[in-house]
Amino acid sequence: MTSRSESLESKILLYYQFTPIADPQAVMLWQKALCESLGLKGRILISKHGINGTVGGTVAACKQYRKRTREYDGFHSMSFKWSNGGADDFPRLSVKVRDEIVAFNAADELKVDENGVIGGGVHLKPEEVNKLVEERGDDVVFFDGRNAMEAEIGKFKNAVVPDVETTHDFIKEIESGKYDWMKDKPVISYCTGGIRCEILSSLMKNRGFNEVYQVDGGIVRYGEKYGNKGLWEGSLYVFDERMHMEFGQDNDPNFVQLGHCIHCGVGNNKFNNCINEDTCRRQVLICDDCYANPRTAHCGREDCQEVAEAIAQKEEAEKAEAQKQGA
Ligand SMILES: [Zn+2]
Ligand SMILES: [Zn+2]
């Protein structure tokens, strides 16, 4: 029997599957109608290579969605991750057809079949990651498959962090020659939940990286297994309003603090938007104390600094005016 509290409980589902989709438009319409009928909100992308989605709603609706979605041949074995949250965590339902379910600008290069991406890196379970490092030692290179900023608060020990602002930059980066030294080394690519490395590892192999691996289930799965006691250091950047999550308990003595406020240097894992929102989209590590003051709510760029100063002066003038009128 389901209790009242259980039936009212909400959750978020995260999932992806690489599989050939002959008619992405038809799958999009079906998924849209399915989500609408179940009252789910969230974001779903569909391409000829597969599906990538995050939806939230009641537990009953999520279960029904999972069951119905798996009825599609290519999605039969898709695994779904459960996360805390619900429909309210999304502004709306968005179901779209795109060239790519992750934007690497590699739509024509990526090849998939019913088993997933063709020619990707070997999947390593968390314990296999550790085993490879035990066996091959310093020869093993961890290669961060995320945007560089995400690694500011957490990464694998001694990982190489490419100079990447968005996944669009990866091809140029791995073709730059900067990483040719690792072409004959064991390279373990990793990202949040694994989807980006499915593609990245295949692009690397196509460009002469000979021994490429990927962490199965990504950092999330590795962190669930080892917490702060493995080869991972720091926090994990996440793409929702939490912005970051920790493995292990608060004040875990094994936790390694990588992130620091760019203004005062205090240990900080929270990204904030630069105050110059009109022309700067940067998310930067600024602690809550510094962020509360407009003078230290900017990313450090010169023009942003000027905007911050102007906002601070305007606020001060307004405060002085209010005091005068109150007196
Ligand atoms: Zn600070
Ligand atoms: Zn800025």
Q: What is the pLDDT of residue 238?
A: 87
| Positions marked catalytic | 191
Calculate mean pLDDT across residues 213-231. 95
pLDDT in tens, 66-118: 999 999 999 999 999 998 889 998 999 999 999 999 999 999 999 999 999 99
Q: What is the pLDDT of residue 2?
A: 46
Share of the chain above pLDDT 70, in %: 98
Euclidean distance between CA atoms 125 and 216, whole angstroms: 5
pLDDT in tens, 164-181: 999 999 999 999 999 999
Q: What is the pLDDT of residue 9?
A: 92
Q: How far is the CA of 297 from the centre of ligand 1 (A)?
A: 9
Euclidean distance between CA atoms 18 and 289, whole angstroms: 43
User: Closest ligand to 280 CA?
Assistant: 2
As residues whose CB is below 5 A from the ion ligand 1, the structure lists: 261, 263-264, 287, 290
pLDDT in tens, 4-52: 555 579 999 999 999 999 999 999 999 999 999 999 999 999 999 999 9
pLDDT in tens, 277-290: 999 989 999 999 99
Q: What is the pLDDT of residue 1?
A: 44
Beta bridge partners of 44: 53, 95
As residues whose CB is below 5 A from the ion ligand 2, the structure lists: 274, 276, 280, 282, 299, 301, 304
Q: How far is the CA of 288 from the centre of ligand 1 (A)?
A: 7
Calculate mean pLDDT across residues 235-263. 88
Q: What are the distances in angstroms from CA 261 to CA 50, 156, 297, 298?
A: 39, 21, 11, 11
Q: What are the distances in angstroms from CA 237 to CA 21, 87, 152, 270, 289?
A: 31, 21, 9, 9, 20
Task: Map residue 168 onto helix, strand or coil.
Answer: helix
DSSP one-letter string for 204-249: HHHTT--EEEEETTHHHHHHHHHTTSSSEEE-EE-SSTT-EE-SS-
- Give me the long-range contacts of 37-41 (CB less than 8 A, separation at least 24): 38/64, 38/65, 39/87, 40/65, 40/87, 40/93, 41/87, 41/88, 41/89, 41/90, 41/91, 41/92, 41/93
Calculate mean pLDDT across residues 191-214. 97
Q: What is the pLDDT of residue 7?
A: 56
Q: How far is the CA of 153 from the centre of ligand 1 (A)?
A: 15
Is 303:274 a contact under the CB 8 Å cutoff? no
pLDDT in tens, 302-321: 999 999 999 999 999 999 99
User: Closest ligand to 305 CA?
Assistant: 2
Q: How far is the CA of 152 from the centre of ligand 1 (A)?
A: 15
Q: How far is the CA of 199 from the centre of ligand 2 (A)?
A: 31
Q: What is the pLDDT of residue 222?
A: 97
